[in-house]
Amino acid sequence: AYIMANNRNIHPMLDAARAAGFKFHNLLVWDKVTGTPNRWYMKNCEFTGLFYKGKARSINECGSKACLRYQHEDESNHPTEKPVALMEHYILNSTNPGDIVIDPFMGSGSTGVACAKTGRKFIGIELDAGHFQTSVNRVARACLDAQERLI
């Protein structure tokens, strides 16, 4: 399981994962290239906890680094949108074509778009109706693009 958090939510993320029976494997860093100005240090990174249950599996590309640099994207109206390329990296490293990826907080649908581009099945859940519709539209376009590439 990949769980994303900012610097203030790392401890709650670890606690919640542990309470749900997950074991901590690694803390990954997304360097967003640009920063969010504030009174202290500009926040230019977010964190991803990598967790597992049962026997830990190796990632598919063992040469992958823990710090990944992808430009922050604004392709939707979601305030915490993730780059499709970042989600593709995580998906390609932890799944195989045809596997099912579940995103219980799908936001703008970046994970679903990445699944369409990489040949994975996708289940997404989003409470906000507006963001849900944005996700549906983005994933549908990505699926059509993927089908056109196959033809």
39 vs 110, more confident: 110
Query: pLDDT averaged over the chain?
Result: 92
pLDDT of residue 124 exceeding 90: yes
Both tokens of 91, joined, read 């998906």
Confidence of residue 123 (pLDDT cuts 50, 70, 90): very high
Residue type, 82: K
Cα dihedral 27, 31, 121, 95 sign = negative
List, for residues 35-81, the tens digit of each pLDDT value: 777 788 888 899 999 999 999 999 999 999 999 999 887 778 787 88
Where would I find the H helices in 1-83? 10-19
List, for residues 4-15, the tens digit of each pLDDT value: 999 999 999 999
Q: What is d(CA 99, CA 80) in angstroms, rounded to the nearest whole number?
A: 26
Q: What is d(CA 26, CA 52) in angstroms, rounded to the nearest whole number?
A: 10
